[in-house]
Amino acid sequence: MVARDDVPPPPVNVDEAGVVSAAESERWIAPVPGVEGYWYEIEEPAGDPMVAGQTLAPLLAQLIDGERDSLALAKQLASRYEEIELLYTISEVLGRTIRLDEAAQTIVSEVSDVVGARRASIFVYDETAEMLRPVAGIGKDVAELSPVGINDPESITSRVFRTGHTVSYDPRHPEEPNPAIGEDRGYRGAAFLSVPILYPGADGMPRPIGVINLTDRLGTDAFSGGERRVVTAVANQIGAAIENARLVERDLIQQRVRRELELAHGLQLKLLPSPDLLGPGVDVAARCVPAHSVGGDFYHFVRLPEGRIGVMLGDVSSHGFSAALVMALVLSAAGIHAEEVASPDVTLRRLLESVEDDLAETEMHLSLFYGVADPVAGVLRYANAGHPHAFRIGATGAPERLQATAPPLGLTDPEAITAAEAPWTSGEDLLLLFSDGIVDARNAEGAKLGEQRVLELATEHRTAPSRDIVEAILAAAADFEAAAKDDRTILALRT
102 shares a domain with 223: yes
Chain mean position to CA 476: 38
Number of C-beta neighbours around residue 450 at 10 A: 15
pLDDT tens, position by position, 197-245: 988 877 778 889 999 999 988 877 788 887 888 888 888 877 877 777 7
Q: Is residue 266 part of a domain?
A: no
Q: Which residues pair with 178 in a beta bridge?
A: none
Q: Is residue 223 part of a domain?
A: yes
366 shares a domain with 437: yes
Cα gap 334→336, rounded to integer Å:
5
338 shares a domain with 190: no
102 shares a domain with 70: no
Contact 433, 490 (CB under 8 A): yes
Q: Which of 152-156, 403-407, 467-471 has the lowest mean pLDDT?
A: 152-156
Amino acid making up residue 354? S
Q: What angle separates helix 49-96 from helix 225-271, to the nearest 10 degrees?
A: 10
Q: Is residue 88 part of a domain?
A: no
pLDDT tens, position by position, 376-430: 999 999 999 999 999 999 988 789 999 999 999 999 999 999 999 999 999 999 9
For the segment 308-336, the average pLDDT, to the nearest whole number, is 85
Q: What is the CATH number of the domain that holds 153?
A: 3.30.450.40
DSSP string spanning 326-352? HHHHHHHHHHHHHHH-S-HHHHHHHHH
Cα gap 222→457, rounded to integer Å:
83
300 shares a domain with 188: no
| Phi, psi dihedrals of residue 364, rounded to the nearest 5° | -120, 165
As a residue count, the chain comes to 495
Q: Is residue 45 part of a domain?
A: yes
Q: Is residue 409 part of a domain?
A: yes
Instruction: Report the side by side order of strands in the sheet with 26-31.
Output: 2-3, 38-43, 26-31, 18-21
Number of C-beta neighbours around residue 74 at 10 A: 10
343 shares a domain with 424: yes
Q: Which residues pair with 42 in a beta bridge?
A: 28
Q: Which long-range CB contacts under 8 A does 79-83 form with residues at least 24 apart?
A: 79/226, 82/114, 82/230, 83/114, 83/226, 83/229, 83/230, 83/233
DSSP string spanning 81-106? HHHHHHHHHHHHHHHH---HHHHHHH
243 shares a domain with 306: no
Residue 25 binned pLDDT confidence (cut-offs 50, 70, 90): low
Q: What angle do CA 165, 170, 175 make, to 5 degrees?
A: 105
Cα gap 495→390, rounded to integer Å:
17
Q: What angle separates helix 225-271 from helix 100-115, to the nearest 10 degrees?
A: 170
Q: What angle separates helix 344-362 from helix 320-340, to the nearest 10 degrees?
A: 150
Cα gap 201→208, rounded to integer Å:
9
Q: What is the pLDDT of residue 85?
A: 66
Amino acid making up residue 334? A
Q: Which of 157-161, 162-166, 370-374, 395-399 has the lowest mean pLDDT?
A: 395-399
Cα gap 311→344, rounded to integer Å:
10
364 shares a domain with 219: no
The boundaries of the domain holding residue 475 are: 272-494
Task: Examine the fold and report which residue of 220, 250, 280 is the final residue of a domain before the chain moves on.
Answer: 250
Q: What is the CATH number of the domain that holds 472?
A: 3.60.40.10
178 shares a domain with 222: yes
| Phi, psi dihedrals of residue 35, rounded to the nearest 5° | -125, 100
Q: Which residues pair with 134 in a beta bridge?
A: 123
Which one, of 223, 206, 205, lies nearest residue 214 by Cα?
223
How many domains does the chain fold into?
A: 3
Number of C-beta neighbours around residue 428 at 10 A: 14
Residues with Cβ < 8 Å from 490, sequence gap 6 or more?
A: 286, 287, 432, 433, 434, 435, 438, 470, 473, 474
Cα gap 390→400, rounded to integer Å:
8
Of residues 481 and 178, more confidence is placed in 481
Contact 454, 491 (CB under 8 A): no
**Res 302 pLDDT > 70:** yes
Maximal CA-CA distance, the chain: 146
DSSP-based three-state secondary structure for 470: helix
pLDDT tens, position by position, 49-84: 777 777 777 777 777 777 776 666 656 555 556 666
Residues with Cβ < 8 Å from 401, sequence gap 6 or more?
A: 390, 391
Q: Is residue 91 part of a domain?
A: no
306 shares a domain with 444: yes
Q: Is residue 260 part of a domain?
A: no
Of residues 368 and 265, more confidence is placed in 368
Contact 431, 371 (CB under 8 A): yes
CA torsion, points 93, 94, 95, 96, in degrees to nearest 10?
60
Instruction: Report the side by side order of strands in the sheet with 283-289.
Output: 283-289, 488-494, 430-434, 390-393, 400-401
Q: What is the pLDDT of residue 12?
A: 46
Cα gap 116→218, rounded to integer Å:
5
Task: Examine the fold and report which residue of 77, 108, 136 is the final residue of a domain before the chain moves on.
Answer: 77
DSSP-based three-state secondary structure for 67: helix
Q: What is the pLDDT of residue 8?
A: 47
pLDDT tens, position by position, 88-135: 666 666 666 557 777 788 888 888 888 889 999 999 998 889 999 999
Q: Is residue 258 part of a domain?
A: no
CA atoms within 13 Å, Cβ hemisphere of 85: 10
DSSP character at residue 10: P
17 shares a domain with 133: no
145 shares a domain with 65: no
Cα gap 272→288, rounded to integer Å:
9
